[in-house]
Structures are given as C-alpha cells and as structure tokens.
Amino acid sequence: MNTETKPDVVKDASMLKQKEMIAGNFDKLTDAKELGLKISSTFVPGNLNELLMCFGIVNNLPEINALNNAMRKQSGPMIQDAEKMGHSEDVCTYVKADIGMMSRGNIAPNGKPMPDPDVLLLSYTGCYTFLKWFELLREQYKCPTVMLHVPYQGDGKAEITQNMRDYVIKQLKEEVIPTLEQVSGVKFDIDRLRENLKNSAKAEDDLVWVLESAKNKPSPIDAYFGGVYYIGPIFTAFRGTEDAVEYYRLLKGEIAERIKQGLGPVTPEGEVFEEKYRLVVEGPPNWTNFREFWKMFYEDGAVVVASTYSKVGGVYDYDGFRHDPDHPLESLADYCLGCYTNRNLPERTQMLVDYMEDYQADGLLVNSIKSCNSFSAGQLLMLREVEARTGKPGAFIETDLVDPRYFSPANIKNRLESYFQMIEQKRQSGAVAA
C-alpha cells in the first residue's frame, strides 16, 4: 500500500494576503448594518474606490459577485432563474447572475446574506449594459442612485480633452460628492482623498512592474489567467488602501525571485517548465470553467504575456496613468475616461499591435464573449488588422462570462491545438525564408 502523502500546496505570501483581504471585505459587507457602515454598489471599470473610502462607504461590486459564483459553479441556476423572470438569453450573463443571486437570498461567499446597498454609484465607462443593470437594481433596492457620465473616446485618437475632464469633474463636485455626503453623513475631506490616491499610485507602480515582467523569457507570469488574480485588489474594493500597497509589494518581490531563478508561471498544477508559445489575448476569460480553460493553455506550453482584460479596470502600463494626489479630482476623471472599454476600436487595435511587439508574442488569440457587447463588438476586425500589421497569426474562440452552457471544451481545445500548429508552421516557414 502506498503510504506516501502529498505535501501541502505552499501558497505565496501575496496569495494569502489577498485571500485575507477578500474575506475581510465580505465580512465587512455582510456585517455592515451591525457595524454602522453604509454600502455602495458600483462596477469595476471606472470605480471610485478612493472617493468612497473618504465617506467610510464599503464597496460591493456586482460583477465580482457574479464571477465568484461562476467559479464556485453556482451561476448556472441563477442565470436560468433570471431567464424565467423574462430576461433574454442574449442579455449579459453578469446581469442575470446578479438578478438570480438576489432571487436566491443574495448570499455572499461567507454564507451570510448581503445587505441592500445604501447608494448605487455608476461611473459609466463604455458599457451600455451598466445603465440598464442599474435601472434593475434601483427598482429592487429603492435607494439613491448617482450616475457619473463619462464621455466615450470615439474620435479615433486616444485623447482626453480638457472639456471632457471638466465635464466629469463638474459632476463629481455637483452630483457625486454631495450624494455621498448625504448618504453617509460624512463631510468630504479632499486631504483624505489625496492620501488614498498616494496609496493607489504606489500599488499601481508595482502592478505595472509585475505585468511588464512578462517581457522576460521565460515570462515569470501568465498575464491573463494569472493576471486576473494580480489585478484583483487594484480593480475592486482595495485600491487606495494600505492593504493594496502591501499586497503589490509582496507580489513584486515574489515575481522578482522567479525572474532571478529563470522560472515560468505558476499554474494550479505547478510550474510551466517550457514556454513554447507567447500569446496576447483579447477579451475576458470564461469563469465557469476557469481552471479547465487555463489548463488547455499550459498543457501545451502556451503562456499569455499580455492581455486586454487585465486593463478593464485601469490602463496603467500602456500610457503610464497613475492616480495623482496633487490633482485629485482631475485624476479621478482621467482614470474613468481612460478605462479600456471606454477607448475606441482603433486605439484598442493599436494597443494589441504594441503588445504583440513589446512582448515578442507569437500570436493574438481573441476569446469572444457571447453576451458581452462592450468587449466583443469589432473583435474579428481587430484580429484581422493585428494580423496584417504584425504578420503574426491570430485565432478566434467563443465562450461566455458566467454561463456554463456556452463553454464547449472539445471545440475550444481543438481550435487551440490547431492554432498552436499554425504558429509552428509560421515559425518553420519563417526559418526557411531566412
């Protein structure tokens, strides 16, 4: 009989830190009423976490709840509940998972019911679905709603004009801040906001260092599957906190050690020992089969060195944006205006081309999300344009965010294997030509 026992999986200090942060925030949310705290519901792209913290408001993010339920295999029945209520099959599955979660008692991952929000804060950034989603939430919760309208960058050239910035700042001063003061009973303190923004900038510096570490060969990180963990604190309820600063300090140290040792990324099943293919990926991941999806890549030695999804809550690496404590309201405006889904298709295409070149990628893979128009519109055109500009092959697959009905493992695996063969053929033809 085999009496050997498998050693416990050793988790990095940053992983333990993030787990502690997430658990603490859910406890704070579910105990908010007892603690005398107010709750906001808001979304990831363009969220104003540093501002909310000035009022002692705890941040709840519906997309994070939806993907959390998907990774725990609970989103499917929630989506079907929402469809029985009359929501279309073509509606964003984040929305339906959220509606279904509410119908089932709105239970948080810690097993406690999520209290109703005290305010709905929508910083609109390029996704029209958010508007309708908030209408549904407003009908449900009957609480104050404030919308920060963010102009779309639609002129073909990425440029935040002073008029755009002033328009957002005016809303912050006249609508958003007064509503948050009224809901919380706390007077706005701009010096407190400056302190929060200092923390954000520190964390953002370290996050960019981590993301750019993928320029190394081998890459010490996977910037898509691993990247969703790295971006978690900065995109959600922790940007602006000391906890976020500490998390990214720990993470940077761990990645630096991996580079020193010449190691590849860590996966759920251990190290990637051979980096065969370096990819750039456009589009969100599938959450319902996240590990199975990831395994299809690392089993064949495919490492994602850059991704657009890891910029959905802030583009810090591409154009150098940092939250600026010396210009606090201007900084919040520029952050909202610059989020990935608020950028036009020509600019997104150029970003992909630059990533392909800067990270010496072998090809571009598009994961098109069936129910997400803000990401999926124009992706095939972007793919063809990137192929033409870089001479590198592209591939197109389709899944969904949190609906398990739209994940076909056999189909995706076949397409990926065919794509990897295409990359090999491209390399061989290039070597022959040389």
State residue 156's pLDDT score. Answer: 60
Beta strand 270-271 with 145-148 is unpaired
Q: What is the mean pLDDT of the chain?
A: 93
10 band by pLDDT with thresholds 50, 70 and 90: low
CB atoms within 10 A of CB 374: 19
Q: What is the DSSP letter of 310?
A: G
Per residue in 71-119, pLDDT (tens digit) is 999 999 999 999 999 999 888 999 999 999 999 999 999 999 999 999 9
Per residue in 225-261, pLDDT (tens digit) is 999 999 999 999 999 999 999 999 999 999 999 999 9
Question: pTM of the prediction?
Answer: 0.94
Strand residues in 233-282 grouped as ranges (E): 266-267, 270-271, 277-282
30 band by pLDDT with thresholds 50, 70 and 90: very high
- Are 146 and 20 a contacting pair, CB within 8 Å? no
Per residue in 293-344, pLDDT (tens digit) is 999 999 999 999 999 999 999 999 999 999 999 999 999 999 999 999 899 9
State residue 125's pLDDT score. Answer: 78
Domain boundaries, the chain: 13-433
Phi-psi region for residue 313, left (φ > 0), alpha (ψ -120 to 50) or beta? alpha
433 band by pLDDT with thresholds 50, 70 and 90: low
4 band by pLDDT with thresholds 50, 70 and 90: very low
| Those residues with Cβ within 8 angstroms of residue 184's Cβ, 6 or more apart along the chain or in another chain | 38, 55, 56, 57
